[in-house]
Structure 1
Amino acid sequence: MESTDGTVRTSASRIAIVTGVGSGIGGIGRGIALDLLRQGYAVLAADRDAAVQDVVRDLARQAGGGADCLGYAGDLSRPDEARAMAEAALSRWGRIDVLVNNAGSGVIRPFLEHDEASLVATLERNLWTALWCCHAVLPAMVRQNHGRIVNIGADSLRTGIPGHAGYNAAKGGVVGLMVGLAREFAAYDITVNTVSPCVVNTERHRQALRDDSELARAFLQVVPKGRGVEIEEICDFVTFLARRENAFATGQDFSLNGGSAMP
């Protein structure tokens, strides 16, 4: 049902945008979107792949009756696409309470094997996408005097595992962006945090271990817990930071790393 201003009335208590809900690295974005839907959020699920509409139908089915989910397909490293995504959420619901910057993937290889194209792609997918999505949603959050932004970072910033220099440059930029935004927008009840997993225990990672991959074994060698983080563990932390009640933690990079890096 539409309200008088053209937005759609929803039973959801909060409105969230989750980027990178396609296949991605282990399906983290899809897991976060589903978790938020099950907690009663309305969710705009975004991905660069047009198949995001299939993901939305699947999310709605898994979340059960009444789930309010909208899909958006576009390259969010482009400012016009990020703005269009934010406008899609505002046109439908009239507000944006939460942005989860999950979109991103890295070209993982030794630094001197990178070329311009692979480094530019890594920066665009991770840093530029997060930056433009923040730029797109923050005006609405300022008007509301409320917002929660959660980035998905990388614990490789702390551990220096092989092949991650280019990827770390992008994710390190996301952490720098977080710190600046957290301070600049704190007065508007807008918090900005980052959740940084170590290796994620996906089926692809498990298969790499079965194949005796040297890179997969190197990942685990730095984790005292001896395993990767589960997607559900990432989702729990993200949805905690997204809550309205979580109003004081801001500008923090939270490691989900099984002890691979400690203060």
Structure 2
Amino acid sequence: MSHTIDTAMKRWENRVAIVTGASDGTIGGAIALDLVRHGMITIGVARNISLVEKLKDADTSILKKGKLIAYKCDLAKPDEIEKMFTWVKANYGGVDVMINNAGTSVMKPILEMGVDEMRTQLDLNVIALTLCCKLAINSMLERGINDGHVINMNSVLGHQVYGHLNFYAATKFAVTALSEGLRKELAKKRSFIKITQISPGRVETKFLYNSFGVSESDKAKALYNSVKSMSPQDVSDAVIHALSAAPHVQIQDIIFNPIEPTPPGMMK
């Protein structure tokens, strides 16, 4: 099976990918490393580029296959996103694969959430993702790239409301609508650029620690210790699966969960 994937991924060798939220120890970091392993020129985007540079220490042998370039960008600032795409065009010609992985949440009920907390999630989870989609797709279209791929990191919460992280869920429902809307817009243009959304359930990263906040970090630790969660590599495997599909096949949605359910009451 791995040989089949490796063969299918050869068409991406020496092509350019952007991965947002590509810090060490994150889903984006795992994705960036896998793309480099498959020979891609990968722009790893983060506010702290030292965490992207740290990825190179994980497996120095992969740098003989592809390239990992760290790029500093605050995705909450549209002008920085636009400058990033201008820089990628000037230095690498444009983008062929766009992985919108960066996201944030606040572990509060909607009834207790402040406006600034709402805007922070909207700015990153919806506005930044939409702008990256727009600029990436336009980069592909203007260069006549008809086999590009945009992958939006969604969540199981983008398909079903569970009663926690409810505002975050609303932003992820927006990602579901945006992904389908982009597919329809590209179909009207008779373009074969693919749009995939990846919707994982519980993944063991810093995400829940950040959501709960420092004062309640013990809750995140207890949840991760209570059941077997998925890993960033599990999510990256799903991304590679979508990218390795035959050119005439568009994998639109991948929704997956750890086999052990979250214990009742753990997310309250």
Alignment-derived partner of residue 18 in structure 2 = 17
Asked whether 1:201 is paired with 2:204, we answer: yes
Gaps of 5+ in 1: 1-10
* Structure 2 alignment gaps of length 5 or more: 1-11, 262-268
1:81 and 2:80 aligned: yes
Partner residue, 2:254: 254
More helix by share: 2
* d(CA) in 1 for partners of 2:86, 2:200: 30
Question: Paired residue for 2:195?
Answer: 192
Q: What secondary structure is seen at the aligned counterpart in 1 of 2:155?
A: coil
Judged with a 3 Å threshold, the aligned counterparts in structure 2 of structure 1 residues 215 and 160 are, in CA distance, closer, same or farther, namely farther
| Corresponding residue for residue 7 of structure 1 | none
AA at the equivalent of 2:153: I
Amino acid of the structure 2 residue aligned with 1:102: N
User: Which residues of 2 match residues 1-263 of structure 1 at below 5 A?
Assistant: 12-22=13-23, 27-52=26-51, 54-55=53-54, 57-58=56-57, 61=60, 63-142=62-141, 143-186=144-187, 187-202=190-205, 227-243=228-244, 245-249=246-250, 252-258=252-258
Cα distance change of structure 1 residues 185 and 212 upon mapping to structure 2, 3 Å threshold: closer
Normalization by structure 1: what TM-score? Answer: 0.79
Give the drift of 1:179.
Answer: 0.4
Cα root mean square deviation, aligned: 3.1
What CA deviation, in whole Å up to 9, does each residue of 1:120-150 have, x standing for no partner? 1011121111101111111121132231000
The TM-score normalised by the length of structure 2 is 0.77
The offset of 1:22, in angstroms, is 2.3
Query: What displacement does 1:212 show?
Result: 11
In 2 relative to 1, CA 203–88 (structure 1 residues): closer, same or farther, beyond 3 Å? closer
How many residue pairs match? The answer is 240
Asked whether the 8 Å contact 2:27–2:232 carries over to 1, the reply is yes
Secondary structure of the residue aligned to 1:22 is coil
- Deviation above 6 Å: which 4+ runs of structure 1? 203-206, 215-221
- Whether the aligned pair in 2 keeps the contact of 1:38 and 1:63 (CA below 8 Å) is yes
**1:177 maps to amino acid:** L
- Percent identical: 26
